[in-house]
Chains A and B, each alone.
Chain A
């Protein structure tokens, strides 16, 4: 997007006042977004993003700026404005730029962008038709496809020899939203499979027809669900998207952006027990073609498989370059950003609780009374106190070891410290689920994941009174 010689010029202008690291992040994105309402195309758009972010670090200080004008004049002006924050003698001059080889975790041969748009529309119409056909009480169906495509170039320098990385990000997600109307109002269900994969993933690898039918059936089922009880109960959480519990309650507080400043409940936890011994957890940005995977992170560091918890002991964090400085720990390929408009920081990629030994059916059989959460809408956490919440979009009462009647309006709350210790059973059925995670550096695609797990006791909020 810019020449190497201009990149060197801008980096050197940025480093003129004593900065010890400078980084240019250039991006051009041309996503394709198609939205259908009840099987009819409402909009098809391709908003083009274009710009550059410049970051200069000086010890524990950071300055960041961006512009959508990539001319030499504009970039040099940005470098001058930002570098004015520091007033130290120049530490080094960038003399040359090398391009390290990047190992690819994403390999796509059948690019979604090359598929004729009418074929993608027909696919979405088929899904819409399947959902509508489930029941006449389905009053509205929204289907959509969002195919992200980004060309990225990174130039960075920590010494006279700088680095240049060129990368492409390509990921697609299909949205299915079913809305059903009944006597007690309207219920919505959502499904959104996604991957850094090609078109055949969506047409062949996943069973999109079954996913669509299930979305329709879930909306209908919730029409007659009772209100969830409130109080403290045993809760079994289904594998896959249920891992949003770990993501919110434990993943965010293990990001270096929280731990490095002493703001996280897990700041001083390396080497200490933070979970029950049956829990091990990972953040792995390298899984081939997964939704949360990348070849390199937003500052050019190759993604890695990072161990977070081993048998209940905290063994690692997600670490970006800047926060790594406070921790005196090396960055581990987890620095991410939504776009050039965001300064990168430590974020999760594909984060999951590792598979255990229990048979998931046995876990339910061993639970006399409790709540089975099959799906979540999402949640949030305050990393400083560890307090989290998340709301179930599909939940049932467990009675005498069996999954019984569905309930709605179920919220789980607690603290990360508490919930990790409350896990007493871990299934052998690890699965991942796709989501978008919003934090300081914007919204980034992440996989959450876990096997079926059981929490001995956790606070459940709902309008249905006591569970009997």
Chain B
């Protein structure tokens, strides 16, 4: 595509400044069920998003249909969107940052591995899962690989490109013992196939399900509670979404007016590192602003909100490089978050808990969380902690609390850091007391 033609057409139609982004993605996935390839998928898609300024108003448009009319379609839609836009503040297109920290994170070796080898890998996992325990009744294993690239141009001559790829393997088992059915799943995500330790992976999937047999509910009351990493990551994610400046400026964030204040236990330190070289690396944001690493919470004190250009202007600060742009308007996002771990092992962390609860999984947080007040209640499962040791399994209990109160009650993290799918690296967390609902 010749983007100069787009910029020329935009100017001709009265769009004073403009930008355009082309994104392409490719994916492959293979699923096994009962030792057969049950599902095989390949796909390729692309889209173009464009935006421009008309009389100081921002308008944007998107299409997946690329052809001779694409630029006409995009510019017409920008004109309409800008005409309807009633935001008071004057908008402009970002010209470019002084310096960008580009790194190459694309791993050509992953794409070069033949499909047969990827298939053989999951067949090996499948077969080991069946052999791991006689109670294993059903196994599903999927290999999925994604590659994406984007190119960003604006009418001031800015040109940015990035390309990345990664794979994940997800495996689940259903185990049956008499009348009881238990299941478990696990996923590994990386850009290097050698990062997957098959035996360890298989053991974790099967042990996870096996440990759930005999699970029961527990008496409703407040317990010292340890949250496993995925659970804590989901909760921290809600906390971080409250740090988006747009929410704060609209008076619907629990973090409004809390900048520079102690909002959590001093054990909590959170950094966002978009420039960390891993699968979540990104060196420019949705507006073309260079990203940078930043401390969001230091020893319990809130240090910054997440800004895009518009919200930064309102608060008289610089954009933090957290702009996102996927469709109608510029939003704000974050990724590659690192929560500072503790020094103790998991066993040491729980050693002084006499009667507590270890939560390994939650469900229903999406609707059970009031993201504006931080109140939440959701389904949970895990284990009873008795005299400093993980004891009998628990199922169909509820976990409820308030996010800010929970972070104030944070007693510390273990050192068992894990990078979760939501791009948050975090360790198991010990909370002084949380409400558990059961019998």
Contacts and interface: CB of A to CB of B under 8 A. Distances in A.
Nearest to B401: A463
A187 B374 CA distance: 10
A451 interface: no
B436 to A, nearest CB: 8
Interface residues of A, number: 78
Contact of B64 (A48, A62, A390, A461): A48
B299 interface: no
A51 B64 CA distance: 8
B220 A466 contact: yes
Nearest to B49: A47
A307 interface: no
Contact of B435 (A65, A230, A379): A230
Contact of A65 (B43, B47, B251): B43
A185 B372 CA distance: 7
A33 B398 CA distance: 37
Interface stretch (B263-271, B359-367, B410-418, B419-427): B359-367
A105 to B, nearest CB: 28
Given A45-B327, A387-B363, A62 B39 contact: yes
Contacts of A67: 43-45
Contacts of A413: 364, 379, 396-398
A139 interface: yes
A327 interface: no
Contacts of A44: 80-81, 84-85, 328
A388 B395 CA distance: 11
A245 B182 CA distance: 22
A64 interface: yes
Interface string A45-63: 1111111000000001111
A54 to B, nearest CB: 10
Interface string B248-263: 0011101000000000
Interface residues on B, range: 35 or more
Given A63-B40, A341-B45, A139 B252 contact: yes
B37 A411 contact: no
A128 B40 CA distance: 47
B439 interface: yes
A45 B60 CA distance: 7
A378 B439 contact: no
A157 interface: no
B277 interface: no
11 contacts: A45-B329, A47-B62, A47-B63, A65-B43, A69-B44, A179-B252, A230-B398, A378-B367, A380-B366, A391-B378, A413-B379
Interface of A: 28, 33-35, 37, 40-51, 60-69, 78, 81-82, 85, 117, 121, 139-140, 179, 181, 184-188, 228, 230-232, 261-263, 265, 341, 343, 376-380, 382, 384-385, 387-391, 408-411, 413-415, 459-463, 466
